[in-house]
Amino acid sequence: MNAPVDDRAISQAANLLKNAQHAVVLTGAGISTPSEIPDFRSAGSGLWTKNDPMRVASLTAFRRRPIDFFDWLQPLARQAYYAKPNPAHLGLAQLEKAGCLKAVITQNIDDLHHKAGSQNVIEIHGSMRTLECLHCHTQYFLEQFAQSFIEKAEPPRCPACSSFLKPGITLYEEMLPAAAWNAAQEHCEECDLILVVGSSLETVPAGHLPVFALENNAHLIINTFSATPLDLEADLVFRQDVVEFIPELVKRAL
């Protein structure tokens, strides 16, 4: 449920953004739920309330139970493949194009920031845009398997060696992609403002990124329905729907 819009607070947020020299945004599942991408932890609707992540979304599951893994992944992959960016994604792309954001750091794997036109997108949990063969290390684009996997739910296999292809997302039991994590950490350590959108900051280590910013005395603005561990540290906290708040922030900042 949306809280009443505080006109003065939104103006204050816009001013902080306009005056920032190095602003970044960290996005979580809440920015994509309006695009009909399910989140993972919401009571009743979250993916982890319906499935044991270690059974369906771990590296062990992929290696030992690939059919179970792909049965779980295919509906999510199909939703992400056809999903369209919403006004919050588009608004952040506008801010980046205008020079107000240096980077879009995301926990999401749905590719919607790229679809929205953001350029410097740091995907700390990887993306479903690509697939890799762990046997011969050949990489492919998901687009090549749109008909077989997305439409017909046939598990993708490597055309070269017939091994199952692993999506380019970070599974349980895997480390985060080092290059993406290092880039995200560097931005957060250098920034003077970080905007958190649609993240409860409960996922580790992603939830620690705003702490790096706070240690550098950066301003923190949070826009998410749920409480976060850093609410009391934030300059401003907004409980508005992201598709309402972000466009209004963009309008006032630009």
Catalytically active residues are: 125
Comparing C-alpha atoms, which of 189, 204, 23 is closest to residue 120? 23
Q: List alpha helices for the chain, DSSP H.
A: 7-19, 47-50, 53-56, 59-64, 66-82, 87-97, 112-116, 178-190, 209-215, 242-253
* Residue the block writes with tokens 């466009």: 247
Element spanning 104, H or E = strand 103-106
Report the amino acid identity of residue 167: P
Report d(CA 106, CA 133) in Å as an integer: 25
The full DSSP string for 77-102 is HHHHHH----HHHHHHHHHHHTTS-S
Comparing C-alpha atoms, which of 142, 166, 122 is closest to residue 79? 142
